[in-house]
Chain A
């Protein structure tokens, strides 16, 4: 009896391994088999599946998705070289997309329909990647401790009256790297480094946890100021759990400007056509779908990012976030200054 269990377990494993879907990627006959679009995505939202399903239904194209961290996708694509099955890369943060571009893994796309919909500020100048949703890094503060005017500029966070008040996550996180990259672009490395040092001096605690944890810490009274991306707050504000909504209600949002200019530190969830994509037209067709009202809604409803299209409906909760113009720093700067940003953070002692 035991022998039977053992043997059938063995047999099952062999059969399952032999039948598993991803092994059978025999070359498709282009005419009879539906086309396959392969997407490498650093997002793992359940709603993205609905997005891909909707596209499959609409076009008959078979969408294959590999979800992983942006870093891992980058390394994977480097290893795969020209044989990479990827047609499109979706990544949150322009700095991440720039790294794909820098590694020669993307191709320039010149498409008037796309360019007409994505503002020039929100895409790479040569068409290596395009923003499809916006994310704003801002401040959530405790209204019992601060007024909006105390925290409405990034430089004000470095002032001495904020000592022991700031909660922010680790510097290795890409959101902080991109923020620092913009500071370097505006203030120069030296002043940006001083800013980082002043922020470290003002921290309420060693950097820990994610953005959501910083907002929670403000609500709990551990700190007065949290530096976070807007959608984490919006998710708390619309959460099914009452405790989460209370956290959001206990804090207020302000979009800080830079010392030399107004406008929010704005990042993107973006998409790029890979250098190894065989059928660029098929890939751009998917991008165009993302830039329809339907595509925008599917992209942002769960994430609470801002749609890139002005006409698209706002996701529930995003309307609670203040509006601001986009700052005028080109997004590429986030990538170009990334290494310098990490170096300055390391020197400032920002863990």
Chain B
């Protein structure tokens, strides 16, 4: 019995890892081995290069926007004191609550030629739409702006942590040598924060590469859109799978950049966390410029789009469609998916510790799911369905979808749990062992109570990520399981933005919970992500 227990404990993490890696492996394997469909030649000749080029262009522009927004903002709140700094410090994380597609709905309406901004401009000036130039949101640049608006907090968080925790001695030394302001930033702070910034940026770009909803709504032909179209419009999963191989390669590239820079970033950190950095007080005009910059970001990336959605909701009403069924589907799928992901994460964390396993295979498997965009996992799910002779209706499809969620998001829940787990002293474990407790007993009596707060935090993050998920849900949801995200997408693509506002706002509202939690945790731990 004891041996069986130990064996189970040792195998559990690997079982979980295999389970998590199967969907993305299925999609890639199919893409590499199955013959191209009828339209593959068409896609190869006319679409593949534009898809790839557009995706890369969007990612490059997104990166530029993110760096331009997040790094100066992070530097301002960590190195200076100015009106509203205390609020901006945490509020700049808020845009993370909005999924890209919701941001796209709101800004397409706000900035469109018939939207309130341009309309009022024309009313004021008496000009016609042809007489002036206005930035077009329905372009790759527009998409990059949308994605950067929701994803810049990734870089803001890592950069702020790096700036705040930078060796104070270095900064003080630089100051005493007369470096200040821009010079201090450019030649001292920025170089040493670079690994952290790169890590955050790669994470953000991985998410940007996974986007489907915003690109689809704005009509930008990225690989994510191409995959879903190859499957749905051409009816050719094989073609979709080949595109998936390209997209996954891009996403993995960013993942490896993240891991590499993370390794370097930890080397850079010093133990000076308990020292409060001295912030230079910005007075007069420069103080207000700093406030204006941070306030402007918040306005554009959060308050304006939210206000517009609320406005639309109030102006035209939410329609008569009952909101409860999709809400319920979202909650059920969110809770079940989060539960499964937590079980997988626990198996990996606890198992890896007890089995003393080499964790690189485990880390890679979890990462594979996380780096794979939802459209690719959805595709993998379809292959699994057809390989096992199952249909999209009924129980199997629900379990499959929940499995896909776990595969995609276990990584997101893993970190808070691992952090909680690693805080627990190993001596507790030895004590339990010496008392003769079995693996399972040690888990339920020692490990689980210790990591419960981490589990709850991880669960919250997972639930909301699942709630926001669009492409995989769109491809795999069975009969009657429309989620809020699916509803919002359906209405918005049907040119009925007003009806899309209520589900969109509910998703954002739910998204605020983990963001505020994250913000609170960060403020408690002195801005480092654990």
Taking beta carbons and an 8 Å cutoff, which residues of A are in contact with B?
2-3, 5-6, 9-10, 12-14, 16-17, 20-23, 25, 44, 46, 49, 64, 66-69, 71-72, 74-76, 78-81, 83-85, 170, 172, 204-213, 216-217, 219-222, 232, 239-241, 243, 247, 343, 346, 351
A170 touches B219 (CB 8 A): yes
B114 touches A217 (CB 8 A): yes
B452 touches A6 (CB 8 A): yes
A240 touches B332 (CB 8 A): no
Minimum CB distance partner of B386 in chain A: A79
Could you tell me the distance in whole angstroms from the C-beta of B226 to the nearest C-beta in chain A?
A: 11
B394 touches A22 (CB 8 A): yes
A13 to B229, CA, bound (A): 33
B122 is contacted by which of A6, A205, A221, A241 (Cβ under 8 Å)?
A221
Supposing A85-B393, A240-B317, A243-B119 touch, asked if A9 and B459 sit within 8 A by C-beta, the answer is yes
Supposing A49-B321, A75-B232, A207-B219 touch, asked if A240 and B316 sit within 8 A by C-beta, the answer is yes
A3 touches B452 (CB 8 A): yes
Could you tell me the distance in whole angstroms from the C-beta of A273 to the nearest C-beta in chain B?
A: 19
B394 touches A25 (CB 8 A): yes
B residues within 8 A CB of A220? 113-114, 118-119, 122, 128-129
Scan residues 474-505 of chain B and give those whose CB is less than 8 A from a CB of chain A: 474-475, 478-482, 490-491, 493-495, 499
Supposing A80-B391, A81-B391, A213-B112 touch, asked if A6 and B495 sit within 8 A by C-beta, the answer is no
Minimum CB distance partner of A9 in chain B: B335
A5 to B453, CA, bound (A): 11
B364 at the interface (CB under 8 A from A): no
B336 is contacted by which of A13, A75, A207, A211 (Cβ under 8 Å)?
A13
B233 at the interface (CB under 8 A from A): yes
Minimum CB distance partner of B494 in chain A: A44
Minimum CB distance partner of A346 in chain B: B46
6 extra interface residue pairs, beta carbon distance < 8 Å, beyond A22-B479, A213-B112, A240-B317: A16-B328, A69-B232, A75-B231, A78-B235, A170-B219, A222-B130
A5 is contacted by which of B229, B335, B391, B456 (Cβ under 8 Å)?
B456
Main secondary structure of the interface of B (DSSP, over half): helix
B residues within 8 A CB of A12? 335
Minimum CB distance partner of A217 in chain B: B113
B394 touches A216 (CB 8 A): no
Would you mind naming 7 contact pairs between A and B with Cβ atoms under 8 Å apart?
Answer: A6-B452, A6-B459, A16-B328, A46-B319, A71-B233, A81-B391, A85-B393
Could you tell me the distance in whole angstroms from the C-beta of B340 to the nearest C-beta in chain A?
A: 9
B188 at the interface (CB under 8 A from A): no
B495 touches A22 (CB 8 A): no
Supposing A44-B490, A44-B491, A172-B233 touch, asked if A209 and B108 sit within 8 A by C-beta, the answer is yes
Interface string of B286-319 (1 = CB under 8 A from A): 0000000000000000000000000000011101
Supposing A71-B232, A71-B233, A80-B392 touch, asked if A216 and B114 sit within 8 A by C-beta, the answer is yes
A209 touches B320 (CB 8 A): no
B478 touches A22 (CB 8 A): yes
**Which of A10, A78, A232, A240 gathers the greatest number of chain B CB atoms within 10 Å?**
A10
B residues within 8 A CB of A71? 232-233, 235
Could you tell me the distance in whole angstroms from the C-beta of A288 to the nearest C-beta in chain B?
A: 26
Scan residues 40-76 of chain B and give those whose CB is less than 8 A from a CB of chain A: 42, 46
B: number of interface residues (CB 8 Å) = 65
A17 touches B219 (CB 8 A): no
B393 touches A80 (CB 8 A): yes
Could you tell me the distance in whole angstroms from the C-beta of A186 to the nearest C-beta in chain B?
A: 25
A79 touches B385 (CB 8 A): yes
Minimum CB distance partner of A23 in chain B: B395
B453 is contacted by which of A2, A72, A84, A206 (Cβ under 8 Å)?
A2
A75 is contacted by which of B130, B235, B315, B319 (Cβ under 8 Å)?
B235
A209 touches B449 (CB 8 A): no
Supposing A13-B332, A209-B219 touch, asked if A83 and B391 sit within 8 A by C-beta, the answer is yes
A residues within 8 A CB of B459? 6, 9
Minimum CB distance partner of B320 in chain A: A46
B residues within 8 A CB of A69? 232, 490, 493
A16 touches B317 (CB 8 A): no
B248 at the interface (CB under 8 A from A): no
**Which of B46, B398, B479 gathers the greatest number of chain A CB atoms within 10 Å?**
B479
A residues within 8 A CB of B138? 206, 208-209
A residues within 8 A CB of B219? 170, 207-209, 351
Could you tell me the distance in whole angstroms from the C-beta of B249 to the nearest C-beta in chain A?
A: 25
Supposing A13-B335, A207-B219 touch, asked if A212 and B495 sit within 8 A by C-beta, the answer is yes
A213 to B493, CA, bound (A): 12
Minimum CB distance partner of B390 in chain A: A79
Could you tell me the distance in whole angstroms from the C-beta of A62 to the nearest C-beta in chain B?
A: 13
Supposing A2-B452, A213-B112 touch, asked if A72 and B495 sit within 8 A by C-beta, the answer is no
B474 touches A6 (CB 8 A): no
A216 touches B113 (CB 8 A): yes
A123 to B495, CA, bound (A): 27
Scan residues 101-152 of chain B and give those whose CB is less than 8 A from a CB of chain A: 108, 112-114, 118-119, 122, 128-131, 136, 138-139
A67 touches B482 (CB 8 A): yes
A residues within 8 A CB of B394? 22-23, 25
Could you tell me the distance in whole angstroms from the C-beta of B489 to the nearest C-beta in chain A?
A: 10
B129 touches A222 (CB 8 A): yes
A199 to B118, CA, bound (A): 26
A residues within 8 A CB of B131? 221
A247 to B339, CA, bound (A): 49
B455 at the interface (CB under 8 A from A): yes
Could you tell me the distance in whole angstroms from the C-beta of B387 to the nearest C-beta in chain A?
A: 12
B residues within 8 A CB of A206? 138-139
Interface string of B203-238 (1 = CB under 8 A from A): 000000000000000110100000001011101000
**Which of B118, B130, B338, B474 gathers the greatest number of chain A CB atoms within 10 Å?**
B130
Minimum CB distance partner of A169 in chain B: B219
A206 to B140, CA, bound (A): 12
Could you tell me the distance in whole angstroms from the C-beta of B445 to the nearest C-beta in chain A?
A: 13
B129 touches A221 (CB 8 A): yes
B130 is contacted by which of A79, A172, A221 (Cβ under 8 Å)?
A221
Minimum CB distance partner of A207 in chain B: B219
**Which of B319, B490, B495 gathers the greatest number of chain A CB atoms within 10 Å?**
B495
A207 to B456, CA, bound (A): 46
A76 to B386, CA, bound (A): 11
Minimum CB distance partner of B392 in chain A: A76
Could you tell me the distance in whole angstroms from the C-beta of B281 to the nearest C-beta in chain A?
A: 41
A212 to B233, CA, bound (A): 23
A residues within 8 A CB of B391? 76, 79-81, 83-84
A2 to B450, CA, bound (A): 12
Scan residues 484-530 of chain B and give those whose CB is less than 8 A from a CB of chain A: 490-491, 493-495, 499
B residues within 8 A CB of A204? 130
A18 to B482, CA, bound (A): 17
A20 to B332, CA, bound (A): 9
B339 touches A10 (CB 8 A): yes
Minimum CB distance partner of A232 in chain B: B495
A213 to B130, CA, bound (A): 16
A residues within 8 A CB of B455? 6
A217 to B138, CA, bound (A): 13
**Which of B113, B335, B386 gathers the greatest number of chain A CB atoms within 10 Å?**
B113
A243 to B119, CA, bound (A): 10
A221 to B385, CA, bound (A): 50
A126 to B233, CA, bound (A): 25
Supposing A207-B219, A241-B315 touch, asked if A46 and B336 sit within 8 A by C-beta, the answer is no
Could you tell me the distance in whole angstroms from the C-beta of A45 to the nearest C-beta in chain B?
A: 9
B residues within 8 A CB of A84? 391, 393
B residues within 8 A CB of A2? 452-453, 456
Minimum CB distance partner of B137 in chain A: A208
Minimum CB distance partner of A17 in chain B: B336
